[in-house]
Amino acid sequence: MNLNHAYGTPPGEEEGARLLNRALDLGCTFLDTAALYGMGANERLLGKAVMHRRAEFTLASKCVLDAVDGQRVLDGRPESIARTLDAALLRLGTDHIDLYYLHRLDRKVPIEESVGALARAKEAGKIRALGLSEMSADTLRRAHAVHPITAMQTEYSPWVRNPEVAVLDACRDLGVGFVAFSPVARGFLAGAINGPNYAKGDVRATMPRFVEPALSYNLALARRFDALAASAGCTPAQLSLGWVLSRGANIVPIPGTGNIAHLEENMAAATMTFDPATLADVDAIFASGAVSGNRYPPAMQAQIDTELLPDEVI
């Protein structure tokens, strides 16, 4: 997503292509995009940059959230899913997508109907596996009853613990993989945030945790986290990724970046071992109720089906 969407001015196409190929060179085997990212531009970038290396990675993309006439839309109707998928295949330059998610829950459409559309796409050979994103344990179980779900993608990091309410347990019960997006907290646990100086188009400028009055409070937590990472001999991003990886064998973090140096830093975390006492210190910093502010502003939260934590007020 970072290469085309939501974090200010993205890198150019050539730089994005270099980063994607460097990721593959480093052993990355999973690339995750969506129809919404850059209004289709991210899928086109992958199509140009890395599809000649198709055998080296699992390709994932998403539907339901899409862009129509330049506007973001949420549409889980089967006919819309089919239309988004066909357009994605053209942009990606491939005849199938390995893992295709429902990006968000469209509450106007029964989840069974949306999953049924993906099941038919699988039967047609257009996708290989089905996924969900930002959905609850109950929705996962309903979807899984229609067709086996391979992966659930939800935000998860030391400072976003909503999956621990129910979704992680449901994934384990059903044998579903868990894909953790924003595992370094949208850069907050990677030393990227020092104040509210966001570029134009940076989604964090609209998110309660990233703006005052919550920001100053949360930056104090980040300083404690940064000091813990330094004492462990790693970067904050690496400690955050190590924490996520420690939470379960079925968890795959997908840190996004538009910077090759950050990519290399992130990839190195997969080779590191973290002392259990250090990971316990991470939990202590981000104990229940420690973080100030909601995860999303109201309009975005309305599209989220994931369970709330006991101390969250929406």
Query: pLDDT digit of tens for each residue in the chain (314 aa)?
Result: 999 988 989 999 999 999 999 999 999 999 999 999 999 999 999 999 999 999 999 999 999 999 998 899 999 999 999 999 999 999 999 999 999 999 999 999 999 999 999 999 999 999 999 999 999 999 999 999 999 999 999 999 999 999 999 999 999 999 999 999 999 999 999 999 999 999 999 999 999 999 999 999 999 999 999 999 999 999 999 999 999 999 999 999 999 999 999 999 999 999 999 999 999 999 999 999 999 999 999 999 999 999 999 888 77
User: What is the domain class of 1-133 according to CATH?
Assistant: alpha beta
**What pLDDT does 310 receive?**
87
Decide if 1-133 and 185-314 have a common fold.
yes
10 Å CB burial of residue 26 (0-12, 13-18, 19+) is middle
Give catalytic status of residue 198 as yes or no: no
CATH node for 185-314: 3.20.20.100
Q: Rounded to an integer, what distance in angstroms lies between the CA atom of residue 38 and that of residue 5?
A: 5
Amino acid 311: pLDDT: 80
pLDDT at 314: 73
Q: What residue spans define the domains of the chain?
A: 1-133, 185-314
Q: What pLDDT score was predicted for residue 124?
A: 98
Out of 37, 100, 156, 296, pick the active-site residue. 37
State the pLDDT at residue 294.
94
Mean pLDDT computed over every residue of the chain: 97
